[in-house]
Chain A
Amino acid sequence: MHQIELPNENKLRELKFEKAESKGHFDLISTDKNGNDIIVSESDLIADMEWGHYYDLNHDVVSQAHRNKYNGFRKKYLATAYDKKIEELKNERILIQRLKLDHVDMKNSVIGEIYKDLLENMKSGNERSEQAGFLLETMITSLLIKISYDFSEKYDIEVEHATVEDDVEYKIDLIVKFKNKNRALEVDGESATKGIQLTLVKPGSEKYDIKKDQIYKANSRRNKKDKIDDLVLISVDLENREISKAYDEWKKRGEPAGGPEKFFKTDLIVNKILKGIFQETELDLSDPENKNIKNELWEYFEGK
């Protein structure tokens, strides 16, 4: 079997493969810190890259019947790992361009300081921030990657990381592309790409109004031909403690596959997080017409 070598320097985690021929599938099994085997999905492993965890997919133990499927997954995994590494280098290039050639720090000291901090952080090895806002952003990106992977035939969602420039200058945390659900009917075939800024600040507060104003200004500065159609502020109805509780639990258990979001209750994922992210899209979970989608997502996360 061709060995796959990932471009990242991270230590690879071991996986075991459990054949379950009679059930017509095979399971990918990861072992947690306490030596317990946990069945993980392909999407869990892909999304785990968000948390800096990479897995060794060089075992040739999958039966012939499942090799095509396994190989398809290995390709997807390899491509995603490369894309992440390429994104990292592109971000470094942007930081150098903006600081050393555009001298943005001399034109706007606030933005300049943020860029400087990001470059310093990159040099020091990208330590994961444990600040609630950053954790939330990673958890939500990871949840959306899982949905996009597991429902790719149904929902047509694509998740893209914002670049450092998107983040610093346009307040974009992540980019989600929602393709038109009526595409099959050839209504217009258009898609909507939303730049999203997440916040834990509640609507109605002064802080929220300030953020809303920042988004409004960022939207007006944006080149209308750029990669997003709209930039929106989404207030996620969560408390800091709910985020740190899930994160602490995940850390305590040795950062098992599936990310800290695995320790969120389904109600919180569907009714608080996804409801907010999907609002005013074709997947709007408040829309009674999307009751089936909501139920499907509920069952999906219950099974995770």
Chain B
Amino acid sequence: MSNFEGQPGNKQELEISAQEKITELTQQIKDLELEKNEKLAELDIIPTKMKK
């Protein structure tokens, strides 16, 4: 959970802050999607590498 508080003094500042938070969340979502695919790809090669 982010620490977005939305406390700036006026509407314009609030909207800039919200826009920044949205951009940050969008980046986090993209990163998680990439990370998910990388981890799934790692698991694909497990059967030949797993030790007994």
Interface residues of A (CB under 8 A from B): 1-2, 4-5, 7, 60, 64, 67-68, 71, 74-75, 78-79, 82-83, 85-86, 89-90, 92-93, 96-97, 99-101, 122-123, 125-126
Contacts and interface: CB of A to CB of B under 8 A. Distances in A.
B48 to A, nearest CB: 10
B1 A92 contact: yes
Interface residues of B, number: 30
A64 B50 CA distance: 9
Interface string B1-42: 110101000000011011101100110110011011001101
A82 B32 contact: yes
Interface of B: 1-2, 4, 6, 14-15, 17-19, 21-22, 25-26, 28-29, 32-33, 35-36, 39-40, 42-44, 46-47, 49-52
Given A100-B6, A101-B15, A71 B51 contact: no
A89 B4 CA distance: 12
Contacts of B19: 101
A4 B47 contact: no
B43 A71 contact: yes
A186 to B, nearest CB: 31
